[in-house]
Structure 1
Amino acid sequence: MHIVIVDSSRVVLKIVAGLLEPRGYQVDAFTDSEEALAFLTHTATVRVLITSLEVRPLSGLELCWSARLLAEARRPLYVITMSSARNARNLAEALDSGADDFIEKPPGAEELHARLRAAERLTTMQDELIRLAETDPLTGLLNRRAFFARIQAAADRVGNHGRMSAILVDIDHFKRINDEHGHDVGDAAIQAVARLLSGEGIAGRLGGEEFALALPNRSLEEGEAHAGRLRLLARDLRIRGSRGPVRLTCSFGVSCWTEGETVAGLLKRADIALYEAKSTGRDRVVSAETELVLARAG
């Protein structure tokens, strides 16, 4: 488990780290609370923050509050405050500021490890709840809501002048697969296509037989090439059916991030390209940058 410790005293940091590191915990220690917050913000592996109330430039209470905001952004984080002055007021202020627990400074080994075992149980449970809330149960990809949240976060990182391509994918004649071979085969087809999309970029199932893939830092040409490879892989799929292997194809619409873009606009143009691919023969990759698609968008 990854733990961050914050205290103005290097002696206290050394004492607490000395209790944790022999137990196999990964520990990062800070005397500066702003540096600690920056590290927390950019290091999603941290599961526990142990901070004194007496830190600067952010107070311990301010650090607790900021850490709690990070945890509310769908991230497991357990916050323990330390103080050499344990009293009802300190305890109440810490809990009101977002702390999960309170411990005297310097902590005793037995009490500290017991509280960390509780923290591990809680953050593991939070991890599982987040996974269940964000995951499509049939495919294991992001569900629609989680996909839109992830692509928006990626867009924020890319900024106006960055690159990102988006690919919308639809299984061709999916209703025919269900009608002729049954819903079990249809589900297996959805799962097989999902496996092709997983492992690179941000992949989600938008609903039914439609999927989306965002590729941050990829150009339109790279997105088109990736969609082309996926198209060929989909053609090679063989789904086990009661009357022998079932084959399928997929159609793809590709768009690319432009300056002043919105996620809605990016996906809308990919959707227009996907419609073009399906209406002109299926088993195709169409880019939103072609003249025909731009004409339709207008």
Structure 2
Amino acid sequence: MHIVIVDSSRVILKVVAGMLEPRGHVVTQFTDSAEALAYVTDNPRVRALITSLEVRPIGGLELCWSARLLAEASRPLSIIVMSSVRNARNLSEALDSGADDFIDKPPGAEELQARLRAAERLTSLQSELIRLAETDPLTGLLNRRAFLLRSREAAGRAGSFGRLSAVLLDIDHFKRINDEYGHDVGDTAIKAVTGLIAQEGIAGRLGGEEFALVLPGRNLTEAEAAANRLRLNAADLRIRSPRGPVRLTCSFGVSEWGEGETVEGLLKRADIALYEAKNGGRNRVVSATNELVLARAG
């Protein structure tokens, strides 16, 4: 487990790390609580935060509160407070501030290991609950809600002038596949398309046979190239059925992030382009342009 320890004393840090590292834990140490919070924020693989109440510049209780807000943003994290003064007030304040556990400082080795085993059970359960809440059960892709959340986070990182593109796609004549070959074959087709897009970027299933990609760091030209490659790969798929291999194609709409954009606007323009791709004969890639958006809006 990746553990961050925060304490003003390097001696305490060394002692606690010495108990943990021989057990295979990855330990990152901080005397500065602001630096620790920034590190935990930027490293979602951190699964436990152990902090003293007596830390600076962010106090221990505030650090607990800030870290708990991170955990509420869909990431597993166990927070353990340690203090050399154990009393009812310190304990209640720590728990009310978002801590999961409270131990003496310096902790005993056996007690610390037991607390961390409990933390591992907690974060494993949190991870599974998050997975169930965010994942489409058929494909394993992000569901609509989780996809929009991750896309907004990517847009926030891109800023007003960053490179970011969106691709919307769906399977052409999917109802016909279901009607002619059955829903089991239709589900297999959906999973086959999922296999093509799952590693492309932020990938989600919006519903039925419709999928979405947000591609951080890629401009419109690069997104168009990715969409065309996916289109060709989809056309090469052969889906097994009792009546022989089933072929399919997909249509794509592409849009690029612009100044003052919202994720909803980015996806809406890709959706307009997808409509034009399907209306224009399917099995093609269409990119959103100002003229196209204005024409559809009219």
TM-score w.r.t. the length of structure 2 is 0.98
**Where does 1:218-229 land on structure 2 (aligned, <5 Å)?**
218-229=218-229
Q: Gaps (5+ residues) in structure 1?
A: none
- How far 1:264 sits from its partner (Å)? 1.1
- How far 1:295 sits from its partner (Å)? 2.8
Q: Distance in 2 between matches of 1:292 and 1:143?
A: 28
**Residues 1:12 and 2:23 are matched in the alignment:** no
Q: Secondary structure at the match of 2:8?
A: coil
- 1:78 match: 78
Q: Distance in 2 between matches of 1:4 and 1:189?
A: 44
Q: Secondary structure at the match of 1:239?
A: coil
Contact 2:273/2:292 (8 A) holds in 1: no
- How far 1:59 sits from its partner (Å)? 1.0
How many residues of Structure 1 are paired with residues of Structure 2 in the alignment?
298
- How far 1:291 sits from its partner (Å)? 4.2
- 2:237 match: 237
Aligned amino acid, residue 72 of structure 2: E
Q: Secondary structure at the match of 1:244?
A: coil
Aligned amino acid, residue 230 of structure 1: L
- How far 1:57 sits from its partner (Å)? 1.1
Q: Distance in 1 between matches of 2:268 and 2:297?
A: 9
Q: What RMSD over aligned residues (CA atoms) do the two structures have, in Å?
A: 1.0
Q: Distance in 2 between matches of 1:90 and 1:272?
A: 57
- 2:250 match: 250
Contact 2:231/2:283 (8 A) holds in 1: yes
- 2:63 match: 63
Contact 1:288/1:294 (8 A) holds in 2: no
**Where does 1:104-183 land on structure 2 (aligned, <5 Å)?**
104-183=104-183
Contact 2:77/2:123 (8 A) holds in 1: yes
Q: Secondary structure at the match of 1:146?
A: helix
Encode CA deviations 1:69-117: one digit per residue, 9 max, x unaligned. 1111111110100111111111111111111000000000000000000
Aligned amino acid, residue 214 of structure 1: V
Q: Distance in 1 between matches of 2:294 and 2:216?
A: 23
Contact 1:168/1:274 (8 A) holds in 2: yes
Contact 1:269/1:297 (8 A) holds in 2: no
**Residues 1:282 and 2:282 are matched in the alignment:** yes
Q: Distance in 2 between matches of 1:152 and 1:297?
A: 24
- How far 1:297 sits from its partner (Å)? 3.9
- How far 1:216 sits from its partner (Å)? 0.7
- How far 1:292 sits from its partner (Å)? 4.3
Q: Secondary structure at the match of 2:245?
A: strand
- How far 1:294 sits from its partner (Å)? 4.6
Q: Gaps (5+ residues) in structure 2?
A: none
Contact 1:251/1:278 (8 A) holds in 2: yes
Encode CA deviations 1:188-208: one digit per residue, 9 max, x unaligned. 001001111111210000000
- Identity, % of aligned pairs? 78
- 1:214 match: 214
